[in-house]
Amino acid sequence: MSGRIWTAALVVIGDEILSGRTQDRNVAQIATWLNVQGIRLREVRIVGDDEGAICEAVNTLRARNDYLFTTGGIGPTHDDITVDAIAAALGVPVVIHPEARAILEAYYASRGGLSAARLRMARVPEGAELIPNSYSGAPGIRVGNLFIMAGVPHITAGMLDRLTGQLEGGAPLLSHTVGCWVPESEIADLLGAVEKAHEGCQIGSYPFFREGKVGANFVVRATEQARMDACVDALVAALAAAGYAVEEGGI
């Protein structure tokens, strides 16, 4: 339990998520990527294509986290209002980024040219840098510790790849999973006792029903390998004493 914990928040922007039309994939993708950078995803908000809602979420979350990510709403159509909303939240004007314009001019040179709608994708909050887009023209945007990413998951994945190793973080959160064919309610006290005896470790219990039987996966999380290993060993021993064998890596 040493060292500062770095945190991030995420604002997922889009009516299509709130209507149920589109299944979000960016929360899990960004959470997993952040863990590797030594940064914890602490909170997520999903809001519609509404400037007031975006501003509120952005300003609240950036004030209390080291990093803030957004996904969605940076395309060329009328419902893409993320850049305008974030500029309003930051109190800065929207400007055309010259490098983004050059990228889009090159990308659309063989695709009908850079129309006014396409030029929208070169608009950034003043003071921003670009995050390269490996799949299509329109770049992501970085304004200090605020990262404005695409909504389409594979485009966001490419942008995350370009940011890998660029963000200061702490010790990555380690995790170790063991699975067990036991109703979690039978060993609930045991789980709580093992967690309490191992400072710096959390044990999550995730029940399931499969092949006609109930079971659970137990995930031990810690930032220090030795503490995590000791907690896992104690948990496996306690389950064995209660008559339950575990499956390494989960079921």
Query: Which residue ranges make up the site for a second copy (CB under 8 A)?
Result: 15-25, 27-32, 34-35, 40-49, 53, 75-79, 108, 111-112, 115-118, 120-121, 135-136, 152, 173, 175, 183-186, 188-189, 191-192, 195, 202-209, 219, 221
CB of 157 to a second copy, least distance (A): 13
CB of 127 to a second copy, least distance (A): 25
CB atoms within 10 A of CB 116: 7
Question: Which of residues 84 and 184 has its CB atom nearest to a second copy in the complex?
Answer: 184
Question: Which of residues 118 and 123 has its CB atom nearest to a second copy in the complex?
Answer: 118
Question: Which of residues 39 and 143 has its CB atom nearest to a second copy in the complex?
Answer: 39
CB of 62 closer than 8 Å to CB of 125: no
Distance CA 87, CA 95 (A): 10
CB of 96 to a second copy, least distance (A): 16
Exposure class string for 18-50: b at 16+ Cβ within 10 A, else e: beeeeebebeebbeebbbebbbbbbebbbbebe
CB of 131 to a second copy, least distance (A): 19
Residue whose entry in the numeric block shows the structure tokens 């023209």:
137
Question: Which of residues 2 and 111 has its CB atom nearest to a second copy in the complex?
Answer: 111
Task: Give backbone dihedrals phi and psi of 133, rounded to 5 degrees, phi first.
Answer: -110, 115
Task: Give backbone dihedrals phi and psi of 146, rounded to 5 degrees, phi first.
Answer: -110, 125
CB of 28 to a second copy, least distance (A): 5
